[in-house]
Structure formats: structure tokens, C-alpha cells
């Protein structure tokens, strides 16, 4: 655990304690279960976003990918009767293709990540709306897919499977980021692409892979969201989700300049965002203020972090000066 992660963990506990004191329902099994489900859903694609941010890029298309792939998944399973494992494979496969497209446009054609994924945001949303002719995609009345439902919206001992899925993904991605060659290369490319290239690292491959990971996790999240909401309204489903993901990653210590971040931090960031959402609901704050609360907390968090960093730097300089005077 990095220092930042511990700070974030403390913040989560403090906020939780305050909410609990004001409204004990916060720790009720129902509320915890529901919140855990949301943390799972949002955490899944926030981790992917974190990987992209660590390369120094950004993926604005996440929400639209969740809408488009959600619509397609629901239609494949509900309308065309595609067996769900095949539908899952196709959905994830589309995620791979979307990620590849982003990565190749950014590395080979040297377009800016912001521009590429902004276009993605518009294109995927547009396709989703055009394909459904603005109508809501849903499963036929009375249909049921017991295994798929168990995997996505089922619970074990009260713990939502979406949350468990997110934990499993987080564990895998934690190993990938912190303990594999690819993970070290990802940080190197994000921090200083030029030096990484001069060390023989295939920087294009690393960057493209990060976008593929992001889109794949978004495609998995798309399936979970579709199963959770049971119907997908193409113009509103997943709106602003990319911003939740970016917020979680930034709260979790990812620098938008690249090269820095931890999986634990991103997960904690996702936890804090849902906790704030929950706070708004439980404390009777008008839900229209939702975004304002979230924005304020993120701003304060980032500001505090910046101040700590400045303080640490000053301490280091003073120590260096002290050493000099002793000489």
C-alpha cells in the first residue's frame, strides 16, 4: 500500500463514520449490499481507465461503450437468442476491437487520446441510438438466464457478485501493474516515453494494450450494467460514466501526466465516489446536488494531496541544506 492509498482509506472511514452517525441505515445490510454492487460496477471500468491514464492518455468513450455494448448484448441474448456465453465472448471481442482502434489511432497515426476517444464517445453513442432508433433495448417479458444472472446480479452471503467480479479483476490487474514486465513498462512509458523507447521498450504495444484493457473492462462492465438495469435506454445509459472513472482514478492517485497510480487507489477512489453518492441519499441532501458534492470532495482531495507534496519537497530541501552545513 502506498501512502496515498492509506490516506484515501482513512478518508473513506471518516466519511463513513460521519454518515453513520447521522443516519445508522448506512451500515444496514441492504444499504451495504447495494453500495457494494455499485462499487463493483463502477470499479470495473475505473480500473481500465486508470491504466490508460497511467500511459498519460485518457479514454472519454467509456460511457458510450457501455451503452452501445449494453444494447448489443441485450439484443443478442434477448432478441436473437444467442447463447449467453457466446454473446459475452462477442461483447468482449468488440471491446478488444474498440481498444485496438483507439490505441492504433493514438500510436500509429499520432492523434491525441482526448480527440480520438471524444470521437469514440460521439460515435458509439450515436450508433447505439441509431441502431435502436432511440427505443429501449430490453429482455423479453418472462425470460430468465439463471447462470448469467447468478454470475452478474447474484449474491453470495449477501455479497453482490458484481463486487466480487471487481475484486477479482482488481487482484489480477494489481499483479499485472505492479509485478509484471508489462506493468513496469506501462509506468515507464507513462512517465517518460522517450526514455522507455531508448531502453528498447515497445512503447506502441504498451500504449495500445492499455487502451485494449480499458475497452475490455468497459465491455465487461457493459454486460454487468445491462443485467443490473435489465433494459438499456440508449441515450442515457452510461452517460458521464467516463467522468466517474476518471474521477476514481485521479482520487486514487493516478496522475493525468502519466506514470503514476495504483490499482488499490483506483478501487478506493471508486469506493469513495459511491460512498459520497450514498451520503447524498442518506443525509437527505437534494440528489440534484449530487455532482456538486462529488466535485467538491475531489477538488479538496487533490488540493490536500498537492499541499502534502509541496511540504515534503520543502522538507527534503531543508534536509539537503542541513547536510551541506555540517560538511
Partner 1 sequence: MSAVHGLDLKLENVTKVYPGVVALNDVSLQIKAGEVVGLLGENGAGKSTLMKILGGLIAPTSGHITLDGQQFDRFDVKESQQAGIAFVHQELNVFDNMDVAANIFLGREKVRGLFRLADHKAMKELAQPLLDRIGARFRPDTPVSTLSLAERQLLEIAKALSMNARLVIMDEPTSSLTLSETNMLLKVIADLKAQGIAVVYISHRLSEVEECADRAVVLRDGVKVGVLERDELTHDAMIHMMIGRDLKALYTPPARPATKPVLAVRNLSIKSKPDRPASFELMGGEILGVAGLIGAGRTALAEAIFGVGEKLDGEILVDGVEVKVNTPADAIAAGLYLVPEDRKRSGLILDFPTLENVTMANLSAFTSRGLVSQKRQIEVAEIQRDALAIKTRDVRRAANEMSGGNQQKVVLAKWLSMDPKVIIFDEPTRGIDVGAKAEIYGLMRSLADHGVGVMMISSDMEEVIGVSDRIFVMKDGAITGELPRLKFSESNVLNLAVGKILEEA
Per-residue b/e over 153-164, b at no fewer than 16 CB within 10 Å? ebeeeebbbbbb
**Spacing of C-alpha 71 from chain mean position:** 20
Kindly report the number of other CB atoms within 10 A of residue 50's CB atom: 31
The span of 8-16, 47-55, 263-271, 309-317 binding partner 1 (CB under 8 A) equals: 309-317
- Shortest reach from residue 175's CB to partner 1, in Å: 7
What are the Cα distances from residue 154, in Å, to 9, 37, 112, 228?
27, 10, 40, 10
Of the residues 198, 286, 288, 326, which one makes contact with partner 1 according to CB under 8 A: 198
How far apart, in whole angstroms, are the C-alpha atoms of residue 127 and residue 197? 37
- Shortest reach from residue 324's CB to partner 1, in Å: 6
Of the residues 135, 143, 202, 235, which one makes contact with partner 1 according to CB under 8 A: 202
> Is residue 177 close enough to count as binding partner 1 by CB under 8 A?
no
What are the Cα distances from residue 92, in Å, to 66, 95, 129, 217, 279?
11, 5, 20, 8, 34
> Is residue 184 close enough to count as binding partner 1 by CB under 8 A?
yes
DSSP state of 280: H
- Shortest reach from residue 174's CB to partner 1, in Å: 12
Of the residues 133, 156, 320, 326, which one makes contact with partner 1 according to CB under 8 A: 320
Residue 129 or residue 197: which is nearer to partner 1 going by CB?
197
Residue 125 or residue 185: which is nearer to partner 1 going by CB?
185
Short-list 222, 122, 102, 113, CA closest to 162: 222
- Encoded one letter per residue, x for contact with partner 1 by CB under 8 A and - for no contact, window 249-288 reads ----------x-----------------------------
| 39 in Cβ contact with 99 (< 8 Å) | no
Short-list 226, 45, 65, 221, CA closest to 136: 226
> Is residue 321 close enough to count as binding partner 1 by CB under 8 A?
yes
> Is residue 179 close enough to count as binding partner 1 by CB under 8 A?
yes
Size of the site for partner 1 (CB under 8 A): 28
Residues that bind partner 1 (CB under 8 A): 175, 179-181, 183-185, 187-188, 191-192, 194-202, 259, 313, 316-317, 319-321, 324
Amino acid at each position: 500500500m502506498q501512502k496515498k492509498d492509506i490516506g484515501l482509506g482513512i478518508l473513506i472511514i471518516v466519511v463513513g463514520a460521519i454518515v453513520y452517525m447521522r443516519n445508522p441505515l448506512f451500515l444496514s445490510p441492504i444499504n451495504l449490499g447495494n453500495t457494494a454492487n455499485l462499487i463493483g460496477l463502477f470499479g470495473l471500468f475505473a480500473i481500465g481507465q486508470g491504466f490508460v491514464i497511467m500511459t498519460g492518455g485518457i479514454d472519454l468513450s467509456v460511457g458510450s461503450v457501455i451503452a452501445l455494448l449494453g444494447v448489443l448484448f441485450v439484443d443478442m441474448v434477448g432478441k436473437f437468442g444467442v447463447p449467453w456465453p457466446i454473446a459475452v465472448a462477442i461483447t468482449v471481442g468488440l471491446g478488444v476491437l474498440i481498444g485496438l482502434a483507439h490505441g492504433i489511432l493514438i500510436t500509429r497515426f499520432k492523434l491525441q487520446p482526448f480527440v480520438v476517444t471524444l470521437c469514440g464517445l460521439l460515435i458509439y453513442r450515436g450508433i447505439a441510438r441509431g441502431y435502436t432508433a432511440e427505443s429501449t433495448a430490453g429482455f423479453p417479458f418472462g425470460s430468465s438466464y439463471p447462470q448469467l444472472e447468478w454470475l452478474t446480479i447474484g449474491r453470495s452471503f449477501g455479497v453482490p457478485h458484481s463486487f466480487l467480479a471487481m475484486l477479482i479483476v482488481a487482484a489480477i490487474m494489481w499483479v499485472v501493474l505492479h509485478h509484471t514486465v508489462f506493468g513496469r513498462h506501462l509506468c515507464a512509458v507513462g512517465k517518460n516515453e522517450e526514455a522507455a523507447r531508448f531502453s528498447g521498450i515497445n512503447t506502441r504495444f504498451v500504449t495500445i494494450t492499455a487502451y485494449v484493457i480499458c475497452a475490455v473492462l468497459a465491455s465487461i462492465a457493459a454486460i454487468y450494467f445491462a443485467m443490473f438495469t435489465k433494459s438499456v435506454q440508449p441515450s442515457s445509459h452510461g452517460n458521464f460514466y467516463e467522468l466517474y472513472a476518471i474521477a476514481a482514478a485521479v482520487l486514487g492517485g493516478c496522475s493525468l501526466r502519466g506514470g503514476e497510480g495504483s490499482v488499490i487507489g483506483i478501487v478506493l477512489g471508486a469506493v469513495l465516489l459511491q460512498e459520497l453518492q450514498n451520503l447524498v441519499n442518506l443525509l437527505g441532501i437534494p440528489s440534484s446536488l449530487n455532482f456538486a458534492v462529488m466535485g467538491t470532495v475531489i477538488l479538496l482531495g487533490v488540493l490536500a494531496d498537492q499541499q502534502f507534496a509541496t511540504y515534503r519537497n520543502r522538507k527534503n530541501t531543508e534536509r539537503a541544506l542541513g547536510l551541506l552545513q555540517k560538511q
